[in-house]
Amino acid sequence: MHSIRIKITAVTLAAILTSLAAFIGISYFTMMEENDKTSVETLNLLSQNAQKTVDVRLNSLKRSVDVVADIAEDSLVPLNLAEVGGANRAARTPEQAKQLDAFMQKYCEEVRQVFGSIANHSDSIVTYYFCISPDIGTSEHGFFYSKVGKTDFEEQPKLIADKLDPADRNSNWYFSPIRRGKPCWVGPYRAHFLGDLLTVSYVAPVYKENVLIGVLGMDTLFYSVRAPVHSLRVYDTGFACLMDDTGRILYHPRLKPETRLEEISLNLDPELFRRESNGSELIRYNAEGQRRQVSFATLTNGLKLVVVAPVDEISASWHKMTQSILLSAIAILVVFALLTLVIVGAVTKPLLRLTSASQKLASGDYNAELDYEGDDEVGILTRSFRQMRDHLKLYISDLNSRAFSDALTGIKNKGAFEAVKEWLNDAIRLGGTESKQEFAVVMFDCNGLKKINDEFGHERGDIYLRTAAGVICRTFLHSPVFRMGGDEFLVLLQHEAYRERETLLQVFDSSSEAVNAGAQNPWEKVNIAKGMAEFRPGVDTDVEQVVRRADEAMYENKRQGKLTAAVSIPNFEAIDS
């Protein structure tokens, strides 16, 4: 048999453990979801910050070219191609060719001056140029300035469009804007005019009446684009790289340029990188035996700035927090277990003592100690057990000494009343001065019993007593009736009978008159004096005082010789005599 202490402890710990497990489970998945969301935001922030740094340089170059291109087109307003033979070189006269060459020389000088003024105020621009289209049919080829390896821009050999090969990818700086018919980014590519250095260009075609005049542009070295990417710190071993929207890697701190995305991981779909950014999407892949997470943003020139970090490093703080929560939960569980044992021990100690006492009572030992006096349920139970012990002790003692029934009338005798009186006295003492006990005692005395015994014999006297007891019992049907000895009876009124006490006394008088009206012999009649007294909380300290007052009221009724009048002692202090 398991003790109640073990059961309560087990149930409490099970409840705590279940709640703790539910809390940890919910917290784990909530934190994991929040960690994933935070990791995406963190990598996005890194890629966006690096993007802004690179875009500052690229946008500076783009704005410079756009400004020059607008000025270049505005400067063509005075040119009337029809006057110089149009775009047909063969149909142009020597005079027209001379006029066109003169205009183009002046025009190129104006554009060069604007270009130079803007380029000198930008650190990222390393070249600027204007390559005149051979279709215009002029001896002017434009200009080309570079400061690669120098402190200032210096004029370089002009770029001759006739010598460029459309099939050569490194000549895209000239042919891409022509094919598209608008300004565009080119590169990175190896510029032959810069010693095959990796270069990024922003170039714009210049038109007059839908005739291509030439292509102008500015270059920045790819190094200046990848420098902020190279210096970007991503956790401990993460990195950033540059790639185009087809999945071709252009810069990677560990891999060779031109590596394809499919060569790194089969989990990465190149189609992902055709978008502007990953947004809030969580992208992860496996590479080199490591789980990695990716975020990316698109630069102004269309390249993808990709930030990569190992998932273990991203989740390191989350794992550490999870371990701390788990250890804290275990510590809390241990503390709660110890506190539960202590508290349950304190609560169950009086219960264990009460259990021991009840076992003694069951074995017949009515001297078991019941001394717990707490105000809680256990205290109430202990006092109830103590009261029950005392009553049992009293009942057993009385049963061993006398019977509780009156042999003549069959009702309870004085011994039975003594037991009830003790029970009532305990209730009065337990309630103190604020006892809520409600009861009354009615004393009855059969007048003329001695005369009937003397004149008609004791058998007639016994009939007289049984008749009187019958009238009393029928009237007070729901109340205990006691024969106190000889010709005296006592009725204890409680509950509904107590509340109807005056009515019951009147019913008794009526019942007595009815019996007497139908009686032929004196011993068949009832001539009973009666007196009633009520328990007064705060005044009466025991039942005996109430009985005494009822007895006095009964004798007063007897002296007055009235059969139907019931006299009650007024509410004053109990008379001791």
Residue-wise pLDDT for 206-230, tens only, equals: 998 888 999 999 999 988 888 889 8
Lowest mean pLDDT among 56-70, 387-401, 537-551: 387-401
Q: Read off the pLDDT band of 205 (50, 70, 90).
A: very high
User: Distance between CA 410 and CA 404 in Å, rounded?
Assistant: 10
- Say yes or no to pLDDT of 573 above 80: no
Average pLDDT of 429-454?
Answer: 86
Q: What is the pLDDT of residue 24?
A: 75
Q: What is the pLDDT of residue 563?
A: 43
- Say yes or no to pLDDT of 568 above 60: no
Phi first, then psi: give them for residue 19, nearest 5 degrees: -65, -40
Q: What is the pLDDT of residue 515?
A: 93
Query: CATH says 1-39+233-362 is which class?
Result: alpha beta
- Say yes or no to pLDDT of 566 above 60: no
User: Distance between CA 557 and CA 133 in Å, rounded?
Assistant: 147
Q: Read off the pLDDT band of 78 (50, 70, 90).
A: confident
Mean confidence (pLDDT) of the chain: 85
Longest dimension (CA), the chain: 182
Phi first, then psi: give them for residue 302, nearest 5 degrees: 95, -10
- Say yes or no to pLDDT of 422 above 90: yes
Q: What is the pLDDT of residue 562?
A: 52
How does 333-371 read in b/e, with b if 16+ C-beta sit within 10 Å?
eeeeeeebbeebeeebebbebbeebeebbeeeeeebebe
Q: Read off the pLDDT band of 425 (50, 70, 90).
A: very high
Share of the chain above pLDDT 70, in %: 92
Give CA separation, 45 vs 30, 39, 54, 228, 245, in Å: 22, 10, 14, 14, 20
Residue 546 CB neighbour total at 10 angstroms: 25
Q: What is the pLDDT of residue 398?
A: 58
The residue among 79 and 418 whose pLDDT is bigger is: 418
Classify the C-alpha dihedral 533-534-538-542 as positive or negative.
positive
Q: Where in the chain do CATH 3.30.70.270 domains reside?
A: 404-568
Q: Residue 306: left (phi > 0), alpha (psi -120 to 50), or beta?
A: beta
Could you please report the per-residue DSSP string of 416-485?
Answer: HHHHHHHHHHHHHHHHGGG----EEEEEEEETTHHHHHHHH-HHHHHHHHHHHHHHHHHHTTTS-EEEEE
The rounded radius of gyration (Å) of the Cα atoms in the chain is 59
* CB contact at 8 A, 99 and 84: yes
User: Distance between CA 528 and CA 473 in Å, rounded?
Assistant: 14
Lowest mean pLDDT among 110-114, 122-126, 277-281, 570-574: 570-574
CATH topology assigned to domain 404-568: Alpha-Beta Plaits (3.30.70)
Q: What is the pLDDT of residue 526?
A: 92
Residue 252's contacts (CB-CB under 8 Å, 6 or more residues apart) are: 239, 241, 242, 259
Average pLDDT of 494-517?
Answer: 94
How does 403-442 read in b/e, with b if 16+ C-beta sit within 10 Å?
ebebeebebbbbbbbbbbbbbbeeebeeeeeebeeebbbb
End-to-end Cα separation, the chain, in angstroms:
60
* CB contact at 8 A, 467 and 524: yes
**Per-residue pLDDT tens for 105-122?**
999 999 999 988 888 887
Lowest mean pLDDT among 93-107, 342-356, 514-528, 542-556: 342-356
Residue 129 CB neighbour total at 10 angstroms: 25
Q: Where in the chain do CATH 3.30.450 domains reside?
A: 1-39+233-362
**Per-residue pLDDT tens for 343-400?**
877 777 777 777 777 777 777 676 777 777 777 777 787 777 777 777 777 766 656 4
- Say yes or no to pLDDT of 18 above 90: no
Residue 21 CB neighbour total at 10 angstroms: 12
| 141-155, 239-253, 318-332, 492-506: range with highest mean pLDDT | 492-506
Phi first, then psi: give them for residue 469, nearest 5 degrees: -65, -35
274: DSSP letter: G
Q: Read off the pLDDT band of 202 (50, 70, 90).
A: very high
Q: What is the pLDDT of residue 503?
A: 96
* CB contact at 8 A, 523 and 452: yes
Q: Which of 411, 351, 344, 416 is nearest to 385 (CA)?
A: 351
Enumerate helices (H) and strands (E) in the chain, giving the number of each.
14, 17
